[in-house]
Amino acid sequence: MALFRCEEMALYQLFLQSEAAYNCVGEMGEIGLVQFRDMNPDVNAFQRKFVNEVRRCEEMERKLRFIEKEVKKEAHINIPNNVPDLKQVPAAREMNELDNQLEKLENELRELLSNQEQLQKNFLELTELKQVLLRTSIFFQEADSTRFAAAARDDREHEEGEALLDVEGGASGGVAGGGTNKLGVVAGVIKRELLGAFERVLWRVCRGNVFLKHADIEEPLTDPTTGDSLLKCVFIVFFQGEQLGNRVKKICEGFRATLYPCPEQTAERREMLKGVEARIADLQVVLDQTLSHRTRVLESAAANLPLWFVKVRKIKSIYHTLNLFQVSQKYLQVQCWIPITDIPKIQAALDKGTSDAGSSVPSVLSQVPTKEQPPTFNRTNKFTEGFQTIIDAYGVSSYREMNPMPFTVITFPFLFAVMFGDCGHGLIMALFAGLLIWKEKDIIAAKSKNEIFMMFFGGRYLIFLMGVFSIYTGILYNDLFSKSMNIFGSQWAIPQDVAKTLAGYSDNTDTVELDPKDSFKDKAPYPFGLDPIWQVADNKLDFLNSFKMKLSVILGVMHMLFGVVLSLLNHTYFRKPLNVIAEFIPQVLFLGGLFGYLVFMIIYKWFAFDYTNSASAPQLLITFTDMFMLSAPDDELYSGQYTVQVIILLVGVACVPWMLFVKPTVLYMRHRNPAAGLTFKNLNNLAGDDGEGTEGLISNDELDRENGIGGDDHVISPDTHGAHSSNGNAPGAGGHGGGHGDDDEEFDFGQIMILQAIHTIEFCLGCISHTASYLRLWALSLAHAELSEVLWSMVMSIGLSYDSVFPGILILPPIFAAWAVLTLAILLLMEGLSAFLHALRLHWVEFQSKFYHGEGHLFTPFSFKHIVENPLED
């Protein structure tokens, strides 16, 4: 029964010897079946026993993230994607060894990084100096050429040009000393994007008394700090005067330009250029060796990174869990929730941990009586996980409440398919989900960060069933991309006289009405699904609207009645006979009597009337309305219909005060007479025993009876369930805290009546609104079919309308591509999402509201698997 209800849980107290605590907690983390409670809620996180160990683990995680960051900078180094399956719990001493190893590796990498950055910085400076020497030589050569050309034209211009451009005798990087006809020179490198602003500021501050030449460095340079590419250019500034030279240097400093020396003579520049090139070559060799050594270190670290991360996270989680324990000198104790069926596994894990620690004192596991509601633990696998997620998104089931997941596996994809019925669309959806299922191991190993894709991947089995069910309903609707399939041959035939009449028509604008008496072959329906003739019928929409609307009502009422029946299973399981009498029975009579009668009339009309007497068939909507008006039907559906309808209506009306007054009255009478066996724990939990809204809230009496203790006021004593050592036999099914123990609490009859009135009104009005809500099955199915038909007629039919091959073969591929894209985008994604959300609402609101309350809290065990796969949630 664990499939239909959550696992039975028990609260246990665990005593661990100090030396064995680490190993025992580690073994329990491997099996992931124990949820620990914090025994030190008032203690600050920084004042707990193992806070230093947790901090060391966090520091190791920081070092690992630093190493990982450095590895990812090297594109050719790959970190293994697969998480190592480390079944062995890391020993406590491994933390020191791993910490020392990571500390050594981090220091080595930081030293290599610092050396590499310094070498790259020197290499950048030498490269810029080389470019400055090369470009300034060109500038000086151009200046000399300009000077000699000017001298040939005019002696006066020659003298002025010699005074301005003869920079061979000028000082480098400063103002020439001596004569006033000497110019100062400042040469350097600046970022290319700052050159325009630099030139304008230089002109305005120096009032045009400087001469600037610049040239781009074609090869991009590399920033030694960030590794980004830099585009720079070489500049040289000629000026006259020391004051003007200071201004130029300050402007260069403001624009973060790098200044380099520029020798006065050409021979000196050549000699410096040779020295720079030699230093660059030597530096390149050293830099290559440094990078090669760094690569080897990172490759070695990358191979071990996943294993190191797993070890650190496991060690950290163990010490974090140990901080939840109450610590004494010799032992540690904690309370934990454990599934009763897994007690042998827990004891085996404790035995292994104690043995690995070399301790001779066994761990002690003893059950603790409690009045708390246990956590909810529903076991899932990769198939049921997606469906359970849908249920838990509405609310986690209360402890031992009926779990709708097994039923949702069928009902959810079926209701989706009713709205999405198309063989072609369902086939595409099933193939997509099938591909995800086929490649699931590769996808899991890839660890994709795409949240949308992983959401589809998580629901791959749900999507696959939705596609399969859509194929089934598409066959029922006889709909394949808005076209029908004539598999068995239509049961309709055109009589010979009508065929002769049609042959005389000159166009196809006329329609012919086929009489079933003459046109319906064998008087038998199409073997499976709709007859394909409805695809070309003018009254296709009229027929499908009526059929799908009635089908929606039938499915809706059956779905809701099934939910009410499941509430009976909750009442009987929790031993609530009053809820069965005062809630379940009137609810079934109300819903089944009124709306079940509507379903009966729909089905009866289908069997009682055919084409021979369909003209006299009554309108069900009018008949159902007359039933509430106590009016006799004009055309009876069956003999004695009016009498039956009056009886059903009277029973339905009687169910309202039945649900409203019976239960509060019985509770009041029992309160006045405590010997009747009813006491009240508190009124806040009243609806759990007294109302339709919270039956999942389990009183302690019910928990006691469930575990065979008996007695309304019994409280489990420590002697009821003996302590179990870790090497003892597994205990039997345990109980939870006993009885109410608060019989003298106030009984507020007014509050009970208000709550019961709310639940009664909610159910009665909900039956009406929820039945109407199921009409969305009809509406969405109609919309999907019409959109598919519109896409075919307005897009695909254009490419198929050409008679000749030549234009058709050119137009058909782009037309088909457009139709395919629109089909995937609109009909599969948008319409599929819409149908999914509507099916979700039908389950959450219309179905689950009849029996499911979702007021529990999830069982969150200490599990290494979850911690390793989801480190951010740790």
Tell me what pLDDT residue 412 has.
96
Least confident of 35-49, 363-377, 506-520, 665-679: 506-520
How confident is the prediction for the chain on average, in pLDDT? 82
pLDDT band for 168, please (50, 70, 90 cuts): very low
User: pLDDT tens for residues 409-431?
Assistant: 999 999 999 999 999 999 999 99
Q: Which residues contact 473 (CB under 8 A, 6 or more apart)?
A: 417, 418, 420, 421, 426
Tell me what pLDDT residue 727 has.
41
User: pLDDT tens for residues 476-530?
Assistant: 999 999 888 888 887 777 776 666 666 665 555 567 777 777 777 666 788 888 8
- Evaluate if residue 737 carries a pLDDT over 60: no
Tell me what pLDDT residue 325 has.
93
User: pLDDT tens for residues 751-775?
Assistant: 999 999 999 999 999 999 999 999 9
Which helix H or strand E contains 553, and what residues bound it? Answer: helix 540-573
Least confident of 192-196, 363-367, 701-705, 845-849: 701-705
Top-confidence residue, 870 or 258: 258
pLDDT band for 158, please (50, 70, 90 cuts): very low
pLDDT band for 150, please (50, 70, 90 cuts): very low
- Evaluate if residue 601 carries a pLDDT over 70: yes
Q: Which residues contact 139 (CB under 8 A, 6 or more apart)?
A: 213, 215, 236
Encoded amino acid at 637, one letter: L
CA–CA distance, 134 with 129 (Å, rounded to integer): 9
Strands (E), 706-759: 723-725
- Evaluate if residue 634 carries a pLDDT over 90: no
Tell me what pLDDT residue 508 has.
55
Q: Calculate mean pLDDT across residues 727-737.
A: 40
- Evaluate if residue 357 carries a pLDDT over 80: yes
208's tokens: 């045009």
Compute φ and ψ for 185, nearest 5 degrees. -130, 135
CA–CA distance, 277 with 164 (Å, rounded to integer): 32
CA–CA distance, 476 with 646 (Å, rounded to integer): 37
Share of the chain above pLDDT 90, in %: 45
Tell me what pLDDT residue 506 has.
53
Tell me what pLDDT residue 520 has.
72
Tell me what pLDDT residue 146 has.
54
Tell me what pLDDT residue 343 has.
94
- Evaluate if residue 699 carries a pLDDT over 70: no
Top-confidence residue, 708 or 473: 473
Per 3-state DSSP, the chain is made up of helix, strand and coil in percentages (nearest 5) of 60, 5, 30
Residue 507 burial class via C-beta count within 10 angstroms: exposed 0-12, middle 13-18, buried 19 and up: exposed
pTM (predicted TM-score): 0.77
Residue among 71, 145, 72, 140 at smallest CA distance from 109: 71
- Evaluate if residue 135 carries a pLDDT over 50: yes
Top-confidence residue, 304 or 445: 304
Longest dimension (CA), the chain: 134
Which helix H or strand E contains 214, and what residues bound it? Answer: strand 211-216
Q: Calculate mean pLDDT across residues 442-470.
A: 90
Encoded amino acid at 703, one letter: L
In terms of phi and psi (left: phi > 0; alpha: psi -120 to 50; beta: otherwise), the region of 170 is: beta
Tell me what pLDDT residue 803 has.
74
Top-confidence residue, 863 or 616: 863
- Evaluate if residue 140 carries a pLDDT over 80: no
Tell me what pLDDT residue 738 has.
38
CA–CA distance, 333 with 331 (Å, rounded to integer): 7
Top-confidence residue, 171 or 256: 256
Let me know: does 193 contact 210? Beta carbons within 8 Å: no
Rounded to 5 degrees, what angle do the CA atoms 49, 55, 58 make?
Answer: 140
User: pLDDT tens for residues 205-240?
Assistant: 888 888 888 888 888 888 887 878 888 999 888 888
Tell me what pLDDT residue 348 has.
93
Least confident of 229-238, 274-283, 367-376, 730-739: 730-739
- Evaluate if residue 1 carries a pLDDT over 60: no
Tell me what pLDDT residue 684 has.
37
User: pLDDT tens for residues 238-289?
Assistant: 888 888 888 888 999 999 898 988 887 778 888 888 888 899 899 889 988 9
